[in-house]
Amino acid sequence: MPSGNQRGTAAQKNGLGGGRPGEGAGITNLLFVIPALTLYAIFVLLPLASSLYYALTDWDGIGSPRWVGLANFSRAFSDDIHLASYVHVTLYIIGTLIFEVSFGLIMAVLLNSDRPGFALLRGLFFSPVVLSMSAAGVLWTFVFDYRTGLINGMLKGMGLSDWAQPWLSQPATALLCVMLVSGWKFAGFYMILFFAALRRIPRSLYEAATLEGAGPIRQFFSITLPLLKQNVLICGLLAVTGGFAGFDLFFTMTNGQPYNSTEVPVTWIVKMGFDSDQLGYGIALTVILTVVVSLVSLLYLRFAERSHAVEY
């Protein structure tokens, strides 16, 4: 148990600055938090609580809910598509971590220069981030189209028509394609975050290393990467929680097909909740999703906390 003296440090670990006595009466200070709290309580906490209630009912969204206890949950654990959706989303998260975060990191380092032209390249690399998901989904659905799409068109033009596939209609390739589009779209976002962080690394460190004869690759691994650790970890967390919530791209490109091979938790929830009018079951699935995301994030944060980010 932290003692009074250590409370400051513990609070700092939580990201709080540590208040000092005499900085104002406790209660009036609460006023600062009221706006955020009200907004949060009504639109985040309240639906969360009612989710817990509805998850225990059988409800078609229109009539009155009928209490069924934990029946929805036991059904969820024998629902093969539901279980598979977690496998798919995990693959997707790993894929996105690889594509988006590493690609973004590499490009941030590659395009890290004050020379003219580099700013333009960075700007262009980021631009897909700004597209809406639906735009990206529609665009790439056409690119992957079997008969008239760009990719198969290019393959046929290069004499490789055997390689032309129904990309979004085969379980083997569909998920990969969605991952690719996600990577295309978001790598720029991570690049900018890393780039901003790179900027904060004092030049002197690099110059000193160059004087000692270290080449650029060596500098990357011994200077850049460790100092970016905190950013890497935060980016990773965003990718993980964002990945579990993945919906937009999946909905516009494949909507879970073919054969539910690109089904992710949220597309299945929407299908159960809205398409088949089984809101009680759909909400139970959202409760499970929340628990899973929370557990994964907490584990991740615990792991991140142990490897402290370096202060500089």
Which of the residues 86 through 105 are near other proteins (CB under 8 A)?
none
Q: Does 190 bind other proteins (CB under 8 A)?
A: no
Q: Does 150 bind other proteins (CB under 8 A)?
A: yes
- Are 275 and 81 a contacting pair, CB within 8 Å? no
Q: Does 172 bind other proteins (CB under 8 A)?
A: no
In one letter, which amino acid is 226? Answer: P
SS3 94: helix
Tell me which of 86, 97, 155, 169 binds other proteins, using CB under 8 A.
169
- Are 273 and 265 a contacting pair, CB within 8 Å? no
Q: Does 200 bind other proteins (CB under 8 A)?
A: yes
Contact track, other proteins, 26-45, x by CB under 8 A: xxxxx-xx-xxx-xx-xxxx
Q: Does 159 bind other proteins (CB under 8 A)?
A: no
Tell me which of 6, 9, 16, 98 binds other proteins, using CB under 8 A.
16
- Are 235 and 101 a contacting pair, CB within 8 Å? yes
Q: How far apart are the first and last CA of the chain?
A: 29
Q: Does 6 bind other proteins (CB under 8 A)?
A: no
Q: Does 294 bind other proteins (CB under 8 A)?
A: yes
Tell me which of 70, 87, 138, 208 binds other proteins, using CB under 8 A.
138
Residue 176: burial class (beta carbons within 10 Å; 0-12, 13-18, 19+)? middle
Cβ neighbours, 10 Å, residue 1: 4
DSSP letter, residue 147? T
Which of the residues 242 through 281 are near other proteins (CB under 8 A)?
244-245, 247-248, 251-252, 254-255, 257-260, 265-266, 269-270, 273-279
* Contacting range for other proteins; rule: CB under 8 A; set: 13-21, 93-101, 302-310: 13-21
Token pair belonging to 147: 């008969």
SS3 57: strand
Rounded to 5°, the CA angle 185-190-193 comes to: 140
Nearer to other proteins, 75 or 229 (CB): 75
* Contacting range for other proteins; rule: CB under 8 A; set: 58-66, 91-99, 302-310: 58-66
Tell me which of 171, 172, 208, 303 binds other proteins, using CB under 8 A.
171
Smallest gap from Cβ 81 to other proteins, in A, equals: 8
In one letter, which amino acid is 312? Answer: Y
Token pair belonging to 203: 């030049």
